[in-house]
Structure 1
Amino acid sequence: MSANTTDSRAPVLVWSALAIVYVVWGSTYLGIRIAIETMPPMLSGALRFVTAALLLGGFLVIRKGLEPFRVSWRQFGGAALVGLLLLTSGNGLVAVAEQHISSGLAALLVASVPLWLVVFRLVVRDRPAVLTTAGVLVGFAGVAALSLTGGQSVDTTGIVVILVASFSWSVGSFLSARIAMPANPFAASTIEMLVGGAGLAVTGMSLGERLDLTAISGRSWAALAYLVLIGSLVGFTAYTWLLGNAPISLVSTYAYVNPVVAVLLGVLVVNEHVTPQIIAGGAVILVGVALVVSTERRARTRPAALGEEVTA
């Protein structure tokens, strides 16, 4: 992408995609919660992502032929790895965790993703600013508070699973901007969802999950349809595009908007209980994330730095 194209189109496209990720992904926690009422978590995710991949891939072939999918094995492998990390391990474990904890609490703990991204930067010797490090410490203090108290009858299994899911999602997000990926973001999304969905199917069946179509409620089918059409096709594709076209520090801001949307929807739609402890712990996490993101954004105001982040 040329500098002129980036200057003229990027702001509108980036903020439009961010708005989609902000709202849509905040609502997917509730969608997952309703879908798994009568569906096994891993297999419901497999249905979601494989269906979305076939729809998106089919649409792309109709519009542009097979050209977007003419990728090298290295690019295919990169997209496959990211799909396994983001969807099989990341999203799949979120669904498993929501069998044990509320969708709002799950979303608040997933808000730790930007904090992990800073930790990974430290691992590769990319030293962050002092305020960024402070934000990480504050954020993880909030994660610890929620994990240890939760303000409710906390299911330790659910807490551990959601934290593993957050870590996996963070690794996938970190690697996606640093390894070979298909040039077309929609082709990349298709491969990621297809491989991630297949991984969910294999994992679910190996763990003994079985799909009884007669036992699935209309409410769960409706939630799955929403997750396929809106959560995956619209939301995940927007996120994939953002990872390749916007600073990761800006993309990560979804993590402190999604929990607010998720908590509100959980309370309004399925009457989830939100205690003062959950609000306090969640607020600490969001303060830490906000400190990280705002500090990182200021550190990347120079054009050269922004260009390096966008093209990584």
Structure 2
Amino acid sequence: MSISVTINGGKTARLTGLVTALLFLIVCISWGTTWLGIKIAVESVPPLTSAGLRFLIAFPLFLAFAWMRRESIFFPRQRFGFFVFVTVCYFSLPYYLLNYGEHYVASGLTALLFSTMPVFILIFSGLFLRERIYLSQVIGIAIGFASLFMIIKTQGLHLAYSELSGVFAILLAAVMHALCYVITKQRGVGISVITFNTLPIGIAGLGLFLAGLLIEHPGLAAVTSRSWAALAYLGLAASVGGFIVYFFLLKRLSPVVLSFVFIIFPVFAVFIGAWYEGMPISPNMLRYTLLLLAGFAITKLPLERLLNTRG
């Protein structure tokens, strides 16, 4: 009987591991295709309006999840300031900046630019949370950003104001997301994931959409079916589906392992974007991309910490 239990337990463990690996791959693909989805959406929908519609599509599903799990969508009253911060600095401004940036920057490069976000988390954690930053992490940051500079140069983004403004918009979105993650470590304790996302997404979506109507005057009748399909994908698959699977995995994998999603999804984004946009990947582009991701990987696995653990 004990042998039977051991065999069944082994099969269950292997099946669980297989499902976990599959879900990890789904998150990488989902987030890797997000950037192409944004690129297609902004083909016929202006940035503010596009970001707002994406969240308005996602909001009812988040409400449904909150209702099914019987969780409140309201932040605690004493954290109203934190609620405003999340709504503005995690959802509203960064997603407008991403949509704006993709008007001028290829989707694969956008993903690479945004993959700097965990590095900014590391920097802000050192500044605000007094977490230790190792020398190897500093070297990894230097390698990563040097490679990113060479990628931008390789892509021909030299002096054109619109292209450079797109690059800076995407980097600023990564900085704001990183800051929000770090502040959430301080202020977001005890707030469930569904509460954290639902109402901010709804308010951000409505605010961005109304701002788009006032500022951009979008002709919604002229929106192509491709852009509508991309918005539906972004709202349902990327925002809701990717969110659910990611936080499901967060309970089953260590944060360090799961954080490698940010290293892997840009690879999918680069190849998918190059295929869709008909842009060949040059050997230099591939070389610098791998070097950039390797540099950022070092920031997640500092050699000093690994040596101390083994010792």
1:242 shift after superposition: 6.4
C-alpha contact (below 8 Å) 1:103/1:262 kept by paired residues: yes
User: In the alignment, which of 266, 273, 285 is matched to residue 292 of structure 2?
Assistant: 285
Query: Secondary structure of 2:186's partner?
Result: coil
Looking at structure 2, the residues matched to 165 and 59 of structure 1 have their Cα atoms a distance apart, in angstroms, of: 27
Q: Structure 1 residues 88-97 or 241-250, which shifts more?
A: 241-250
Q: Relative to structure 1, is the Cα distance of residues 262 and 256 closer, same or farther in structure 2, using a 3 angstrom cutoff?
A: same
1:53-94 per-position Cα deviation (integer Å, ceiling 9, x unaligned): 122203432x244x4335412455434422432322222211
Looking at structure 2, the residues matched to 275 and 195 of structure 1 have their Cα atoms a distance apart, in angstroms, of: 42
C-alpha contact (below 8 Å) 1:111/1:285 kept by paired residues: no
1:148-180 per-position Cα deviation (integer Å, ceiling 9, x unaligned): x14335521221111111111211222222213
- Match of 2:218? 211
User: In the alignment, which of 140, 145, 149 is matched to residue 135 of structure 1?
Assistant: 140
* Aligned CA-pair RMSD: 3.1
Looking at structure 1, the residues matched to 307 and 89 of structure 2 have their Cα atoms a distance apart, in angstroms, of: 27
Structure-1-length-normalised TM-score: 0.80
User: In the alignment, which of 35, 40, 65 is matched to residue 34 of structure 1?
Assistant: 40
Looking at structure 2, the residues matched to 170 and 133 of structure 1 have their Cα atoms a distance apart, in angstroms, of: 17
User: In the alignment, which of 35, 44, 51 is matched to residue 45 of structure 1?
Assistant: 51
Looking at structure 2, the residues matched to 14 and 69 of structure 1 have their Cα atoms a distance apart, in angstroms, of: 28
Larger Rg: 2
Q: Does residue 174 in structure 1 map to residue 174 in structure 2?
A: no
Looking at structure 2, the residues matched to 54 and 258 of structure 1 have their Cα atoms a distance apart, in angstroms, of: 27
Structure 1 unaligned regions, length at least 5 = 1-7, 303-312
User: In the alignment, which of 236, 260, 272 is matched to residue 229 of structure 1?
Assistant: 236
User: In the alignment, which of 191, 195, 206 is matched to residue 183 of structure 1?
Assistant: 191
Q: Relative to structure 1, is the Cα distance of residues 64 and 286 closer, same or farther in structure 2, using a 3 angstrom cutoff?
A: closer
C-alpha contact (below 8 Å) 2:55/2:201 kept by paired residues: yes
Q: Relative to structure 1, is the Cα distance of residues 219 and 57 closer, same or farther in structure 2, using a 3 angstrom cutoff?
A: same
- Match of 1:306? none
1:244 shift after superposition: 8.4
Structure 2 letter corresponding to 1:163: L
1:255-281 per-position Cα deviation (integer Å, ceiling 9, x unaligned): 211111111111222323433443233
Q: Does residue 122 in structure 1 map to residue 134 in structure 2?
A: no
Q: Relative to structure 1, is the Cα distance of residues 75 and 182 closer, same or farther in structure 2, using a 3 angstrom cutoff?
A: farther
Looking at structure 2, the residues matched to 297 and 264 of structure 1 have their Cα atoms a distance apart, in angstroms, of: 33
Alignment of 1:49-88 (within 5 A): 49-61=55-67, 63-65=68-70, 67-69=71-73, 71-75=75-79, 77-88=81-92
Query: Secondary structure of 1:39's partner?
Result: coil
Looking at structure 1, the residues matched to 248 and 86 of structure 2 have their Cα atoms a distance apart, in angstroms, of: 14
Number of positions where the alignment pairs a residue of Structure 1 with one of Structure 2? 289
User: In the alignment, which of 200, 207, 212 is matched to residue 208 of structure 2?
Assistant: 200
Looking at structure 1, the residues matched to 62 and 140 of structure 2 have their Cα atoms a distance apart, in angstroms, of: 38
C-alpha contact (below 8 Å) 1:152/1:275 kept by paired residues: no
Q: Does residue 256 in structure 1 map to residue 263 in structure 2?
A: yes
- Match of 2:170? 162
1:41 shift after superposition: 1.4
Q: Relative to structure 1, is the Cα distance of residues 258 and 248 closer, same or farther in structure 2, using a 3 angstrom cutoff?
A: same
Looking at structure 2, the residues matched to 300 and 84 of structure 1 have their Cα atoms a distance apart, in angstroms, of: 41
% of aligned pairs identical? 27
Structure 2 unaligned regions, length at least 5 = 1-12
Looking at structure 2, the residues matched to 259 and 297 of structure 1 have their Cα atoms a distance apart, in angstroms, of: 27
Q: Relative to structure 1, is the Cα distance of residues 179 and 185 closer, same or farther in structure 2, using a 3 angstrom cutoff?
A: same
Structure 2 letter corresponding to 1:99: H
Q: Relative to structure 1, is the Cα distance of residues 112 and 64 closer, same or farther in structure 2, using a 3 angstrom cutoff?
A: closer
C-alpha contact (below 8 Å) 1:122/1:128 kept by paired residues: yes
1:131 shift after superposition: 1.5
